[in-house]
A and B are shown apart, each in its own frame.
Chain A
Amino acid sequence: MLKFLLLVNKQGHTRVSQYYEHMELEERTNMEAEITRKCLARSDDQCPFMEFKNFKVIYRRYASLLFIVGVDSDENELSILEFIHNLVETLDRYFSSVIMFNLDKVHMILDEMIMNGQIVETNKNRILAPISVLDEKPTS
């Protein structure tokens, strides 16, 4: 099960965060900062897997964005890596450039893909269908 998903830039600023387990605000910010710092400090010849407290952190870097996922310790690391890639491809297909200003859309896509920490859908067309319906609405 996924515990949280973070999108962080190279400077360590959070761009998107979604939690699937309730966490107090302060604890959340501290943990976010610590994980981001650790991930950014790792070099390319290190595995993108980390053990953090009682769970695992898996991250993948795309240009200047770091996708960080926290998972239960029995989760398959390699398949999570693949899932991150799937997510990136989906985002890439929908947003031509900056995703920064469209936080709500990113969340909408995330909600189509992950719910309650479980994978819902990995087919890109189906993921994007509801959002494109929404996008068409104003014009029609």
Chain B
Amino acid sequence: MPAPGKLRDLIRTIRAARTAADERSVISKECASIRDSFREEDNDFRCRNVAKLLYIHMLGYPAHFGQLECLKLIASPKFTDKRIGYLGAMLLLDERQDVHLLVTNSLKNDLSHTNQFVVGLALCSLGNICSQEMSRDLAGEVEKLLKSTNSYLRKKAALCAVRIVRKVPELMEVFVPTTRSLLTERNHGVLVCGVSLVTEMCRVNPETLSHFRRHVPTLVKTLKNLVMSGYSPEHDVSGISDPFIQVKVLRLLRMLGKDEESVSEQMNDVLAQVATNTETSKNVGNAILYETVLTIMDTKSESGLRVLAINILGRFLLNNDKNIRYVALNTLLKTVHADYNAVQRHRTTILDCLKDPDISIRRRAMELSFALINASNIRGMMKELLTFLVKTDVEFKSYVTSNIFLAAEKHSPNKRWHIDTMMKVLTTAGNFVRDDTVPSLIHLVSTSSELQGYAVQRLFKAMQNDISQQPLVQVGSWCCGEYGDQLFVESEEDEALNLTENDVLDVLESILYSTHSTPTTKEYALTAVMKLSTRFTVTMERIKNIINQFEVNMDVELQQRGVEFGSLFKNHDSMRSALLEKMPVMESKLAPEPVTNGEVSTQPTPPTQPVIETKEVVVEQKPPKQASETLLDLLGGGSQPEPTLAPVQPPAPAASSGGDLLDLLGGLDLGSTNAGPPPMNMMAPSPAVPNLLDGGGLLNPAGGGMQAPLQMNHEQIAPQNQNQDFSSGFPSMTAFENNGLKVTFAFDKAPGNHVVSIMVTATNSLAIPMTDFVFQAAVPKTFQLQLQSPSGNIVPPNNSGTVNQEVKVANPQQQPLRMRLKLMYKVNGAPVNEQGEVNSFPPGL
């Protein structure tokens, strides 16, 4: 067999390969010849072949067949062979046991070799690939080498110990006695490895923290020496003596001083020294300062020191180096909750970072800016953020808009400002807002009666300029429909709009026929036109015309509205004005009582109830029904609707609200023969058919929020449900906890009743909100389960709020309850699906 080519030649050939296919064929050919050579037990070229294999491995091709050859090289007496053998072992060996067993013996021999470089090689490989078994077998050898006088071996042995401690924590005690001498070591290599070892021990077993706290004075002294020593040629990095050790020591001090007043006190001096004496013109100095700041923030440092630390970060923000600005913002983000006021002082600098050329810096500045908003600075901050919103990257827009809304909701100085802000957002980045913005702005306008005129005029003006921003147009249409009469009232500060009824209809009509408009937007607009028929006087004919045109619209929903509205004109003109009354003021979506359909009460709907309220009940039933549909999915179709649970209307899984509306109009049309609108029958189930007359504020069942109309109705049906509390005899429990999401159950059960109410509360401990949150549950077939609509679909970050949802479980056979959970949400836009099972319900449920 000819001598195999050199590695150098192989590399040349591979680099010369033009295509990936060429490269693959070169490599497979080479691998074949390497295998042949291995089979022939060719000792002379084994080393070369393994070296080639390592190159091939690096390129991402499988090279595991070389593992045994590596072991043979390791066993060879030649240093050059051993070197490549160990290198190959480090790169090729995986955690497979049988190979590891073989290598253990060679390692054991080499660890007691007389040549320090052989021992060094063995230690290095052990440190990189040590498994649990190897840890147990070789810990003794490593410990022996840790006590050696040779610093070359001691430093490597220390890092081997790091690996062993991580793999088998109980072996820690073998190494604890030697740590003291490692920490007082003068050789920097040994010291840095010793510090790593102690850090790892503290991390693996927090109980050792108390043991190592007695070494704090030693560490402090080491650090002090490094800071004050001046120039040390051996470990100098641009004028700073061994920054790597400084960083490591600072980090260890941070672990030791965490939550320990007395330990932190011992560090105050040295931290202050490092913070003031470190030269900051170069990156190195800033690396140390950065680590110092982190240590100061994380330990119980004195307040002066904390202020100093925040000021260092403030200086960082002004630094020319973008990397330093980046770490500063990152650190401020971490500490903003602990040192809120200190961070506030750097607000203007942070706002300046919103204009930084680096996108990652902008992102952090943006997050930090939102964290800094409070009631006293909101006007100024919002101005900056609105400017930022105009110019910012598309990917940030939805984050910015939703956070502006959150901040405005929490801190707005007055309602007028709040409405203005929301409108500004809608006009600048309207198409980037989340779905729940529309109902929440509508809610805001509807609850501030004194500003309705102002709002509708502003909105109308905005719509006159631009009808392409859908959410704006939706809110605008809704308001025009509700408060159209106030469009013509002269307001004191704005110049009068001087509108005529026809101007308003012009805009609405252009929305109805615009190509920008989504079907939903058109639905809003059409309802608005209809509502205006009782508010406008001279344009009745035009309104009728518009409505008539929609009786034959291609869109099923619009057509339905057209037909229904038309029939109101034709057959029920007397009821029209009552039906098109202004919507009642909606209660806050934060109302504690979740939507119930009155299902626990067995009272049927009073027949004398006013029509409009029946209508709301009917439409409101969508969310629970959707929930039962998904449930049906979860159970594989096994759940049967429990008739006693829903007396108002048994949840028919496939029914669309179109069907409900048919019922409704059927009721309206009693006795009239010509009116039953035929297109109804071909109605396809439409997922989110909005409320017929209140302008679709309830468009998105999961979007949550506008459930108040039902509540009003609900009061009449079952007032006893209103003050249901969940503090009955059963303890609440945590049903699910993972990745920051925590779901707890609180129970309520009336004695003798077999229906349990479970209040599901979801919280989020991450720093970012979870959006599109959906909770689903399934129970065995002997149970019946009903999910009410949730209080929202966004779980706010940092446990700052909750999503509540009530679940009712009927347990007629009194069996122990089990439940399977499915949780879906999005973090930063990335969907997360979680499943869980709850078997530990309190007994007696």
- A residues whose Cβ falls under 8 Å from a Cβ of B: 14, 16-18, 20, 22, 25, 28-29, 32, 45-50, 76-79, 81-83, 86, 100-101, 103-104, 107-108, 111, 115-116, 118-123, 125-126, 130, 133-134, 137
Contacts and interface: CB of A to CB of B under 8 A. Distances in A.
Contacts of B62: 25
B244 A83 contact: yes
Contacts of B80: 134
B448 interface: no
Nearest to B131: A22
A27 to B, nearest CB: 11
Closest 10 CB pairs of A and B: A78-B287, A29-B60, A79-B287, A116-B127, A121-B189, A115-B127, A47-B326, A115-B159, A79-B247, A118-B196
B327 A115 contact: no
Contact of B128 (A16, A20, A76): A20
24 contacts: A25-B62, A32-B60, A46-B322, A46-B358, A47-B322, A49-B323, A76-B287, A78-B286, A79-B244, A79-B291, A82-B237, A82-B284, A100-B11, A107-B87, A111-B124, A115-B156, A116-B159, A120-B159, A121-B155, A122-B188, A122-B235, A122-B242, A134-B83, A137-B79
B704 interface: no
Contacts of B160: 115-116
A29 B20 CA distance: 14
A103 B196 contact: no
Given A22-B95, A45-B357, A78 B51 contact: no
A79 B58 CA distance: 27
A84 B247 CA distance: 15
B735 interface: no
Contacts of A45: 322, 357-358
Interface in B652-684: none
A49 B151 CA distance: 34
B758 interface: no
B243 A120 contact: no
Contacts of B156: 115, 120
Nearest to B358: A46
The binding surface of chain B is classed by DSSP as helix
A46 B360 contact: yes
Contact of B244 (A50, A119, A130): A119
Interface string B28-60: 000000000000000000000001001100111
B234 interface: yes
Given A45-B358, A47-B360, A78-B287, A123 B235 contact: yes
Given A25-B60, A45-B358, A104 B283 contact: no
Contacts of A77: 323, 326-327
B459 interface: no
A83 B62 CA distance: 31
Contacts of B163: 116
A107 B62 CA distance: 19
B150 to A, nearest CB: 12
A137 to B, nearest CB: 8
B94 interface: yes
B18 interface: no
Most buried by B among A17, A18, A28, A119: A119
B164 to A, nearest CB: 10
Interface string B183-223: 00000110011001000000000000000000000000000
Contacts of B159: 115-116, 118, 120
A9 to B, nearest CB: 10
Contacts of B326: 47, 49, 77
Interface in B269-296: 283-284, 286-288, 290-291, 294
A29 B63 CA distance: 13
Given A14-B59, A78-B290, A116-B159, A126 B189 contact: yes
Given A14-B59, A83-B244, 17 more contacts: A14-B60, A17-B58, A29-B60, A46-B359, A49-B323, A76-B287, A76-B294, A101-B7, A104-B83, A104-B87, A111-B90, A118-B196, A119-B244, A119-B248, A121-B188, A121-B192, A122-B237
A50 B360 CA distance: 8
Contact of A116 (B162, B288, B322): B162
B195 to A, nearest CB: 10
A83 B287 CA distance: 11
A79 B87 contact: no
A122 B283 CA distance: 17
B120 interface: yes
Contacts of A100: 11
B117 interface: yes
Nearest to B282: A82
A88 to B, nearest CB: 13
B313 interface: no
A76 B290 contact: yes
A81 B287 contact: yes
B155 A134 contact: no
A116 B157 CA distance: 11
B361 interface: yes
Contacts of A111: 87, 90, 124, 128
A76 B285 CA distance: 12
Contacts of A47: 322-323, 326, 358, 360-361
Interface in B85-131: 87, 90-91, 94-95, 117, 120, 124, 127-128
Contacts of A108: 83, 87
A78 B95 CA distance: 33
B283 A134 contact: no
A119 B192 contact: yes
B426 interface: no
Contacts of B361: 47
Contacts of A76: 247, 251, 287, 290-291, 294
B161 to A, nearest CB: 10
Most buried by A among B80, B91, B155: B155
Contacts of A104: 51, 54, 83-84, 87
Interface string B143-180: 00000000010011001101100000000000000000
A122 B128 contact: no
Contacts of A126: 152, 189
Contact of A103 (B51, B155, B193, B294): B51
Nearest to B234: A123
B563 interface: no
